[in-house]
Amino acid sequence: MLKVLKNLKNSFWSVLVIILLLVVQAQADLRLPDFTSRIVNVGIQSGGIESAVPQIISKQDMENILIFSDNDEKITENYTLVGESPSKEQKEIIKDFLGKDYNIEKEKIYVLNDIDSEKEDELSEIMAGPLMELQVVTSEETASKIKESLTANVSEEQKIVLENMSILDIIKSIPEEQKNAILNEFTTKINQMQDSIKEQAAVTEVSNIYKNLGVDTNKIQNDYILTQGLQMLGVALISMVSAITIMLLSARVAAKLGKTLREKVFKKVLSFSTGELNRFSTASLITRSTNDVQQIQMLISILFRVVVYAPIIGIGGFVKVLTSTDSSMAWIIGIAIVGVLFVVATLFIVAMPKFKKLQELTDKLNLVSREILSGLQVIRAFNTEKKEEDRFDKANKDLMKTNVFVNRAMSIMMPALMLIMNAIMVLIIWVGGHNVDQGIMQVGDMMAFIQYTMQIVIAFLMISMISIMLPRASVSANRINEVLETKPAIKDKEETKKFDPNKKGLVEFKDVSFRYPDADTEILEDISFTAEPGKTTAIIGSTGSGKSTIVNLIPRFYDVTGGELLIDGVNVKDVSQKDLRNIIGFVPQKGLLFSGTIESNIKYSDDNMSDERMYEAAKIAQATEFIETKEKKYQEPIAQGGGNVSGGQRQRISIARALAKNPEIFVFDDSFSALDLKTDAALREALSKKTHDKTVIIVAQRISTILNADQIIVLDEGKVVGIGTHEELMKNNETYRQIALSQLSEEELDKKGGN
Domain borders along the chain are: 38-73+123-226, 79-114, 493-583+665-725, 590-662
446: enclosing H helix or E strand: helix 443-484
**The predicted structure's pLDDT at residue 195:** 64
Q: Are 311 and 455 in contact (CB under 8 A)?
A: no
The pLDDT confidence band at residue 191, using thresholds 50, 70 and 90, is: low
Q: Are 200 and 19 in contact (CB under 8 A)?
A: no
Dist. CA 401–CA 144, nearest whole Å: 80
Angle at 75 between CA 46 and CA 111, to 5 degrees: 70
Minimum mean pLDDT range among 51-60, 156-165, 409-418:
156-165
Minimum mean pLDDT range among 327-331, 349-353, 749-753:
749-753
**What number is the average pLDDT over the span 686-701?**
85
Same fold, 493-583+665-725 and 590-662: yes
Counting Cβ atoms within 10 Å, is residue 181 exposed (0-12), middle (13-18) or buried (19+)? exposed
Most confident option among 30-44, 124-138, 181-195, 424-438: 30-44
Residue 366 φ/ψ region, left for φ over 0, alpha for ψ in the -120 to 50 degree band, beta for the rest: alpha
Cβ contacts of 500 within 8 Å, gap of 6 or more: 568, 569, 570
Dist. CA 602–CA 633, nearest whole Å: 13
Angle at 441 between CA 435 and CA 443, to 5 degrees: 95
Q: Are 108 and 90 in contact (CB under 8 A)?
A: no
**The predicted structure's pLDDT at residue 633:** 87
**What number is the average pLDDT over the span 216-224?**
89
Dist. CA 296–CA 306, nearest whole Å: 15
Residue 3 φ/ψ region, left for φ over 0, alpha for ψ in the -120 to 50 degree band, beta for the rest: alpha
Minimum mean pLDDT range among 191-195, 349-353, 658-662:
191-195
What value does the mean pLDDT of the chain take? Answer: 83
Dist. CA 483–CA 266, nearest whole Å: 10
Angle at 724 between CA 721 and CA 725, to 5 degrees: 135
Q: Are 110 and 56 in contact (CB under 8 A)?
A: yes
Q: Are 665 and 584 in contact (CB under 8 A)?
A: yes
Dist. CA 703–CA 681, nearest whole Å: 12
**The predicted structure's pLDDT at residue 512:** 92
**The predicted structure's pLDDT at residue 673:** 75
Dist. CA 143–CA 151, nearest whole Å: 12
331: enclosing H helix or E strand: helix 330-374
Pairing of strands 596-597, 562-567: unpaired
**Which residue has better confidence, 186 or 608?**
608
Q: Is the predicted pLDDT of residue 182 greater than 70, yes or no? A: no
- The conformation of residue 191, written as its DSSP 8-state character, comes to H
Q: Is the predicted pLDDT of residue 745 greater than 90, yes or no? A: no
Please state the pTM of the whole predicted model.
0.71
The pLDDT confidence band at residue 457, using thresholds 50, 70 and 90, is: confident
Task: Report residue 639: phi and psi, to 5°.
Answer: -75, 165
- The conformation of residue 486, written as its DSSP 8-state character, comes to P
Dist. CA 652–CA 672, nearest whole Å: 8
R_g over Cα of the chain: 47
**The predicted structure's pLDDT at residue 311:** 84
**What number is the average pLDDT over the span 258-271?**
88
Q: Are 728 and 722 in contact (CB under 8 A)?
A: no
Q: Is the predicted pLDDT of residue 146 greater than 70, yes or no? A: no
Dist. CA 574–CA 559, nearest whole Å: 12
Dist. CA 130–CA 68, nearest whole Å: 5
What CA–CA distances, in Å, run from 695 to 26, 195, 569, 586, 687?
71, 102, 14, 12, 12
Task: Report residue 554: phi and psi, to 5°.
Answer: -65, -50
Class of the domain covering 590-662: alpha beta
Q: Convert the pLDDT of each residue in 554-610 to its tens digit.
A: 998 888 988 999 999 899 999 988 889 899 999 888 878 888 898 898 998 888 889
- The architecture in CATH of the region 493-583+665-725 reads 3-Layer(aba) Sandwich (3.40)
Dist. CA 459–CA 464, nearest whole Å: 9
Q: Convert the pLDDT of each residue in 71-113 to its tens digit.
A: 888 888 888 888 666 777 877 887 888 776 666 555 678 888 8
To 10 degrees, the CA torsion angle through 242, 248, 254, 258?
-170
